[in-house]
Chains A and B, each alone.
Chain A
Amino acid sequence: MIEGAAWRKWLFFYLPLAVFVIWLLFPFYWMAITTLRPDGELYRPWNAKNYEPFWTANPTLDHIMLLLEETLFPTWLWNTMLIALVSTLISLVCGVFAGYALARLKFPFAGSLGTGIFITYLVPQTLLFIPLADVIRNFRLGDTPWALILTYPTFLIPFCTWLMMGYFKAIPKELEECARIDGASRWKAMIYIILPVAVPGILSAGIFAFTLSWNEFIYALVFLSSSEQKTVPVGVVSELIRGDVFYWGPLMAGALMGSIPVALVYSFFVEHYVSGLTGSVKG
């Protein structure tokens, strides 16, 4: 901490902190205020007399009503939720087991396999969607949630595997050895000892994976076409930007309401999440 006079603390701690907080939160504020401002204020020119971009005197719910009533936003929200949850679940299960195997089991090429998995994660999605589109078409999955549920794990599994591998490596191996001497098979030692200890790591991997699939844009744009199948990011952008007309109010309302579930998930797990990132396992 910062020692000395109080003003030092204000100057070197609270002031920079405030700058960061404002810097980070401003986009959200902009999103929220745009959602609430009536169109009349939104499209007022900057040199008008009563131009006030950061505040509104006449908040309105018009944009939100339009979003909910005239678009399929509730359906998109549901689609996104379902796809994000299921693909996160699949990726977590695979990632936890694969990470455990890479961290703990001795088998030939374990090291290069780990590196290989990491490299797949580095292949850009903007390239990978081309062959994947072919696969999706061959299996006739286009325009169904399965198109995304099955393709998101292509980048989520390497991600989860890598994160979990690091986490498992940080858990002292004596814990597991002791459990195995105590009478647990490798499988039971994993279920009763290793997984409970790894909960913070599993949560962080899960939250990351959930956020990644929630925000995913390219695959959703390419693999889904009908309006009632879309996810929030694609739906909002494709239905509320018509040609060169931006429906700023409803757009921002969609962005705002789309980020609320993620924010809730974060705040719910934040304590575990932080300790998971710092990887603290105490014996």
Chain B
Amino acid sequence: MAGVSIRQVNKLYDGAVHAVKDVSLEIHDKEFVVLVGPSGCGKTTTLRMVAGLESITSGEVLIGDTVVNELPPMDRDIAMVFQNYALYPHMSVFDNMAFGLKMRKFARAEIQARVKQAADILGIHELLHRKPRQLSGGQRQRVALGRAIVRHPQVFLFDEPLSNLDAKLRVQMRVELKKLHERLGTTAIYVTHDQVEAMTLGDRVVVMKDGLVQQVGEPLELYNAPANRFVAGFLGSPAMNFVEVRLAERGGALWAEGDGLRIQPLPEQAGRLARLNGGRATLGVRPEDLRIANGSDPEGLCFEADIEVIEKLGAQILLDTRAGSHTIVASVEPTVRARVHDRLRLAINPDRLHFFDAANEAAI
């Protein structure tokens, strides 16, 4: 097995569309890395360059210690699972899984053994004689996975493999993928636009936007310390609340003043914000970091809001509230009694305030 290094890779389609911009990533051996981002951000393109299906405009891709820029896909020792499964329609499940081994001239007994082993792992033993069109979506997905694992490749590449499945099956397959990775330990690069998939599957997550890497890190690291406003807003559901504020010094302390609320950052954060004194910034707070204020909450972390919509989700209640001109979503305990049009006092958990530069959107 091997790691993958992507070094300052660029991709220009037809010399015009700059799909991937200066992407650099070090993917370690046995690591499960997820590329996530909105549609069109260059995830698939990056993956296809690693696979060798798309030429690399500039930069280098290494698998193990070998530069693979010029190697054809067949010599890269990788396996890829496609969104539409790409099962060979004229071959049985067994032949689909055996094809890669046959191409590499494995002995017949070895092929039998490996396909059987993969079929055991994935629970598709009874399906081996069927044709792909006789399978359900979930079964096809398993066969596609089986075809990848029989080869024992250096690296697995996944391009949105679960997005054609229904919600329940997706959750189930997600767990299975995770288990499979734990069992095989093969390095994997996984592309998705689903942030939940990214957070649950990835050892590390790479957030991309417009061909640029926004942030790389472990899931909770990205969640708790997003590098910029985009990452903060992209990860987490419901999404982080953003409020445009003006920073001003009042009575010796720095305050963030927005329409309908005044917040006083903790001293340490205020220190970093000091250089923006008198300027603008974006304040971000996640819905689950808001709660109904009680008497002991400091004045600087509370604000008043009117409830506009109440969404009872069971495990928590989402309150869509209005403070000034801003809509702010708060996720509160299901025991909270609240009615639409009530006026509430909400408090922010003190160390959970995020600030972003108004100009370049970087976290402060």
Contact = CB atoms under 8 A, between A and B. Distances in A.
B74 A180 contact: yes
A196 to B, nearest CB: 5
Contacts of A184: 74, 99, 103
Contacts of A193: 88
A181 interface: yes
A184 B87 CA distance: 15
A181 B74 CA distance: 5
B79 A181 contact: yes
Given A174-B86, A181-B73, A183-B104, A283 B79 contact: no
Given A181-B79, A182-B103, A175 B74 contact: no
B100 A182 contact: yes
A172 B51 CA distance: 17
Interface string B134-176: 0000000000000100010000000000000000000000000
B247 interface: no
B188 interface: no
B72 to A, nearest CB: 7
Interface in B56-105: 72-74, 76, 78-80, 82, 84-90, 99-100, 103-104
Contacts of A174: 82, 84, 86
A188 B105 CA distance: 13
A122 interface: no
A281 interface: yes
A33 B89 CA distance: 47
Interface in A170-193: 172, 174-175, 177-185, 188, 192-193
Nearest to A182: B100
Interface in A153-177: 172, 174-175, 177
A283 B89 contact: yes
Nearest to B90: A196
Interface string B253-273: 000000000000000000000
B53 interface: yes
Nearest to B80: A181
B74 A182 contact: yes
A174 B157 CA distance: 13
A178 B90 CA distance: 14
A174 B86 CA distance: 6
A260 B15 CA distance: 56
Contact of B103 (A175, A188, A282): A188
Given A197-B89, A283-B132, A177 B53 contact: yes
Contacts of B85: 283
Contact of A282 (B73, B79, B133): B133
Contacts of B84: 172, 174, 283
A282 B89 contact: yes
Contacts of B73: 177, 180-181
Nearest to A199: B90
B35 to A, nearest CB: 18
B89 A183 contact: no
Nearest to A178: B86
Interface string B194-206: 0000000000000
A131 B74 CA distance: 48
Nearest to B86: A174
A103 B167 CA distance: 36
Contacts of B132: 282-283
Given A180-B74, A182-B100, A283-B132, A175 B53 contact: no
Nearest to B87: A283
B264 to A, nearest CB: 55
A283 B141 CA distance: 12
A84 to B, nearest CB: 28
A177 B52 CA distance: 10
A62 B352 CA distance: 103
Given A197-B89, A197-B90, A283-B89, A183 B80 contact: no
Contacts of B80: 177-178, 181
A174 B85 CA distance: 8
Nearest to B51: A181
A219 to B, nearest CB: 37
A179 B79 contact: no
Given A182-B147, A183-B104, A283 B74 contact: no
A282 B140 CA distance: 12
Contacts of B76: 181
24 contacts: A174-B86, A175-B89, A177-B73, A179-B103, A180-B53, A180-B74, A181-B53, A182-B74, A182-B79, A182-B103, A182-B147, A183-B100, A183-B103, A183-B104, A184-B74, A184-B103, A185-B72, A192-B99, A196-B90, A281-B89, A282-B132, A283-B85, A283-B87, A283-B89
Given A172-B84, A178-B82, A283-B85, 17 more contacts: A175-B88, A177-B53, A177-B73, A177-B86, A179-B103, A181-B52, A181-B73, A181-B76, A181-B100, A182-B74, A182-B147, A185-B74, A188-B103, A192-B99, A196-B90, A281-B89, A283-B132
Please name the 10 residue pairs, one residue from A and one from B, whose CB atoms are nearest each other, closest first: A183-B103, A182-B100, A174-B86, A178-B86, A174-B82, A181-B73, A196-B90, A180-B73, A183-B74, A183-B104
